[in-house]
Amino acid sequence: MAIKINVQKAYEEVEIADKVYVMDLNDEKLREYDKVFRKFRKESLKMSERDYSKMTDKEQKAAEKENYEIMFSVVELLLGEGSFDKVYADTGKSLLVMADIIMQLMEVVGKRMQAFKKREKAYYTGKLTL
């Protein structure tokens, strides 16, 4: 009799505003996510340090465009082509709400990675219970 080996799925399904999206979690995508997450964190920090009250209208529009573009690239990578416009519309076209959604998506990927690392550590330290 063959021993059954469980194979985890290499994706996560996430529901946003009653729509289900699939986040691919294969090795190549995880490397891409890591790069885009680091860029998003860096840009988010930079954006949070800006004093919008001291910016001209033109500078504010440029900053908003920059925010939009980084969020667009993150969401399109995580949820697939064409997903940003759907999610953005569902947020009432709010970049603030989009930032929150992106952080939640980053948590989904992070939790999946932590679960794997925890299991791997348990195996190598002899603490894996079978």
The secondary structure of 96-116 as a DSSP string is HHHHHHHHHHHHHHHHHHHHH
pTM over 0.85: no
pLDDT of residue 15: 97
E strand or H helix that includes residue 118 = helix 95-124
- At residue 125, φ and ψ (nearest 5 deg) are -95, 5
pLDDT of residue 112: 83
pLDDT of residue 19: 97
Contacts of 35 (CB under 8 A, 6+ apart): none
In sequence order, the β-bridge partners of residue 13 are 22
The low-confidence residues of the chain, meaning pLDDT below 50, are none
DSSP letter at 81 equals T
Closest CA relative to residue 100, chosen from 66, 69, 80, 74: 74
CB 19 within 8 A of CB 90: yes
pLDDT of residue 130: 56
